[in-house]
């Protein structure tokens, strides 16, 4: 006997309930249903700052601090007089309070701070697996989309969806390749009309809906991206990259072969990313890239537009502050990156440019580079290569020096 909600009719009922739930969300007075995110912090509907956002910050008591500040991959901004301060996951109101408290503790009797998001991070939500219309949802950080809403946008769960174990893969802060995994029982939410465990989604989240057979057997792998038939596939003995890609329909003409990744779950539930250069495998016959595939592995083959070597962040006295994307297969250096960002501002101290970097062991490094001398002499061999999540700070000259 089939248990309620696991057969074809039961799943159809769940899809109808999901649609009703989303309708309730859209008709609610505040525009959102109560979710687990709001249960933890009732002001989530007031935008929470995300890495990649740009903040406009004003200080009434010292207008020369009024500027735009880029939120780095580790969730911090570099604010004058305070230094690096963590603002990710805070609302703009709480970020204002935090900066006020720091300034009042050290410099002002009273400080009046206003924080607004001037530019929101963007990045599609990738919806994969047992959905009626899997695909991607364009998304910007100033919107609030819940998991149930996103499923409804994909025409609901398919007949074979394992709605009890829908997973959200989310980049961990810090700009590395690790993702955290959030498992949500969508079936229970729609069956019980209890949406307290619904989740707000973020740019670049991946939502994976496994099939019933896959979750029952626990022997599955997932193929994502530029493949003929992306989705979940049963694991079989001696599975490797070639067999997995063949089973998933082969590669599309838009696949960026050198930028593929094999994501493998670690003991703590996060995923490590293994570089998978398919151009070496299929172009040069390099069987070192033909990794064995394990149950639970994820193969991701991006397009050229999705492939990126990470981001660096330029702050301070430059013509264009903000985030700069690093290409995967090309070395990018400090001086040339500043030139591409429009060059130095009028009062920039070109001789003491700082590069803040996190070492592999987690320690913080600060490099001081005389970029002005490099540009003056043309000795670009003395330029330094940048790494993902570097923060470049160009200070202003102190008057008289």
CA nearest to 334, candidates 356, 319, 365, 364:
356
The confidence band for 346, taking pLDDT boundaries of 50, 70 and 90, is confident
Q: What is the pLDDT of residues 269-302, one digit of tens each?
A: 667 778 888 989 988 888 999 999 998 888 988 8
Lowest mean pLDDT of 73-77, 284-288, 366-370, name the range. Answer: 73-77
The pLDDT value recorded for residue 328 is 56
- Tell me the pTM: 0.47
The pLDDT value recorded for residue 26 is 35
The pLDDT value recorded for residue 43 is 40
| Average pLDDT of span 233-244 | 89
- How many angstroms separate the CA atoms of 16 and 21, rounded? 9
CATH fit for domain 54-119, picks 3.40.50.720, 3.30.565.10, 3.40.50.300, 3.30.1950.10: 3.30.1950.10
**What is 311-394's CATH number?**
3.10.560.10
User: 376 or 363: which carries more pLDDT confidence?
Assistant: 376
Lowest mean pLDDT of 43-47, 150-154, 203-207, name the range. Answer: 43-47
Check pLDDT > 70 for residue 64: yes
Check pLDDT > 90 for residue 11: no
| Average pLDDT of span 27-38 | 36
The confidence band for 37, taking pLDDT boundaries of 50, 70 and 90, is very low
Burial class (CB in 10 A: 0-12, 13-18, 19+), 336: middle
The ranges assigned to domains in the chain are 54-119, 218-305, 311-394
Count of helices and strands (H, E) across the chain: 10, 20
| Average pLDDT of span 99-118 | 89
The pLDDT value recorded for residue 5 is 36
The pLDDT value recorded for residue 260 is 87
The pLDDT value recorded for residue 290 is 94
Lowest mean pLDDT of 53-57, 74-78, 99-103, name the range. Answer: 74-78
Burial class (CB in 10 A: 0-12, 13-18, 19+), 192: exposed
DSSP letters for 140-197: BTTS--BHHHHHHHTTSB-TTB-GGGEEEEEEPTTSSS-EEEEEE-HHHHHHHT--TT
Contact 241/281 with Cβ under 8 angstroms?
Answer: yes
The confidence band for 305, taking pLDDT boundaries of 50, 70 and 90, is low
Tell me the residue ranges of DSSP E strands in 242-340: 260-265, 271-276, 298-301, 311-316, 322-325
| Structure-block tokens of residue 351 | 């001789």
Answer yes or no: same fold for 218-305 and 311-394.
Answer: yes
**What is 218-305's CATH number?**
3.10.560.10
The pLDDT value recorded for residue 353 is 93
DSSP 293: P
The pLDDT value recorded for residue 71 is 85
């Amino acid at each position: 006997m089939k248990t309620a909600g696991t057969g074809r009719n039961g799943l159809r009922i769940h899809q109808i309930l999901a649609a009703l739930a989303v309708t309730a969300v859209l008709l609610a007075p505040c525009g959102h249903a109560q979710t687990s995110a709001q249960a933890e912090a009732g002001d989530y509907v007031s935008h929470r700052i995300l890495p990649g956002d740009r903040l406009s910050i004003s200080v009434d008591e010292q207008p020369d601090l009024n500027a735009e500040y880029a939120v780095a991959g580790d969730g911090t901004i570099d604010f004058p007089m305070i230094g690096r301060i963590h603002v990710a996951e805070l609302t703009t109101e709480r970020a204002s309070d935090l900066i006020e408290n720091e300034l009042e503790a050290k410099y002002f009797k009273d400080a009046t701070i206003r924080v607004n998001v001037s530019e929101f991070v963007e990045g599609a939500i990738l919806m994969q697996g047992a959905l009626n219309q899997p695909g991607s949802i364009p998304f910007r950080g100033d919107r609030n989309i819940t998991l149930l809403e996103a499923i409804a946008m994909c025409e609901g769960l398919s007949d074979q969806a394992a709605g009890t174990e829908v997973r959200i893969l989310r980049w961990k802060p810090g700009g590395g390749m690790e993702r955290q995994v959030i498992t949500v029982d969508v079936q229970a939410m729609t069956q019980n009309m209890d949406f307290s465990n619904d989740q707000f989604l973020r740019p670049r989240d991946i939502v994976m809906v496994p099939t019933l057979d896959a979750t029952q057997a626990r022997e599955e792998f997932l193929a994502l991206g530029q493949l003929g038939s992306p989705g979940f596939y049963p694991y079989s003995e001696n599975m490797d990259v070639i067999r997995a890609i063949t089973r998933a329909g082969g590669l599309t003409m838009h696949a960026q072969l050198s930028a593929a990744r094999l994501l493998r779950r670690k003991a703590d539930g996060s995923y490590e990313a293994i570089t998978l250069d398919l151009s070496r495998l299929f172009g040069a016959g390099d069987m070192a890239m033909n990794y064995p595939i394990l149950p639970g592995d994820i193969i991701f083959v991006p397009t050229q537009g999705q492939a990126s070597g990470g981001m660096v962040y330029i702050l301070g006295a430059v013509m264009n502050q903000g985030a700069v994307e690093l290409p995967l297969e090309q070395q990018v250096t400090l001086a040339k990156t500043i030139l591409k960002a429009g060059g130095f501002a009028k009062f920039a101290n070109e001789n003491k440019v700082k590069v803040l970097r996190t070492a592999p062991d987690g320690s913080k490094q600060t490099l001081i580079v005389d970029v002005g001398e490099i540009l003056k002499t043309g000795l670009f061999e003395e330029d330094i290569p940048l790494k993902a999540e570097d923060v470049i700070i160009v200070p202003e000259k102190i008057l008289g020096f």
